[in-house]
Structures are given as structure tokens and as C-alpha cells.
Chains A and B, each alone.
Chain A
């Protein structure tokens, strides 16, 4: 089952904050976050593992609520370079190594 991302799109001014949510109907082993700019390949941002371990970039953070089967990506003090489409990818126990991606959230940061 594809995870559901919200919102579908968001427009920000530079310096504003944004939160992107990813919700699954299945128990999760891990959640990955990727950013894709138009016409380019997705780029790995971070992974959140069951048990609370987090990896990734300093300026963008994320949380993983295993009980609620949800993850949120936090972008603080947004920069123009944050513009793009953000995807979450989820792994379920028993299907580790296979990511199911959400439909994406388009973020546009304006000057």
C-alpha cells in the first residue's frame, strides 16, 4: 500500500518553515526521505529506522512515530534551494530492501 503524503503542495517565502507528513496503513520498519528537482534524479535526504535511530542532513530534520505509522519532515528557515518534490519511501517488516514511495509533495520557496 502506497503511503499517503500531505500536503500535496506548499508555497513558502524564504525563511519560513514547512512540515511534510507521510502516513502508512502498515507497520513500518523504516522511512526514507528524498528530494527531487525538476528533470533530475531523486536525492537521498535521510532515513529513520524503527527504534529511533536517525541519519541525514543537519538543516532538515524528521521524526518517526512507529505507533502511528507516520513520519514528518521538518524544513526550517527554508532556502530557495529547498524547492522541489519531496518523497517518502517506506519499508515494512518482511519486505526490507523494498521501498514503496508516496506520491510526493511539491515545495516551492519564493524570494
Chain B
């Protein structure tokens, strides 16, 4: 059974710092991996999608990497801003027939001005 873990559970950094969020999964037979952010009381916003054949994806100040063989992904945020404060979730799509996304429990990020 696929399990997704995110470390740390919470992180507080001063504005301007670069930071890395970690995601690990137990079954490397994934179809793809997505990073989301969730603001309080809101739904999820997709940030980056990495296919199983890819190593990384970039969007603006965000860079996500994928090492499928070791079951790990990282989300790198450069030059953090207070507006980046949110919960960040990673989710893996199983490679089997179900196609469902299995979510981690998230990292709560606070960027202090």
C-alpha cells in the first residue's frame, strides 16, 4: 500500500530564505507526482506536476525534483516571501489501474516578514 510522508510537518523561515520541503513515498511504481499548496479554508492549488520519466519541473521561484528509485521528491522555494505561507502537499498517482492520488499530510510553511 502506497504511503506518502512529508517532512517537516511545520517550518518557519524569515523572508528571503531559500527552503526545501521533502516528500517520500514507499512504492516507486508511480505514474506522476504533484505538489499543491493549500491556503486556510481554501481548496488546493496545483503547483507542479512531474511525470515519472522526468527529474524536475520549474515554475518561477519553485523547483520540484523527483527521484523515483529512492521514493523521494523535493520542492525548492527560492527567495521566500510572506505570500508563500501555506500548507504544501505532495501527492503521488499510483501507476496501477486506480489512478487515484495518494496525499501526504503536508508541511505548514510560515514565512516571517
B is bound to A:
no
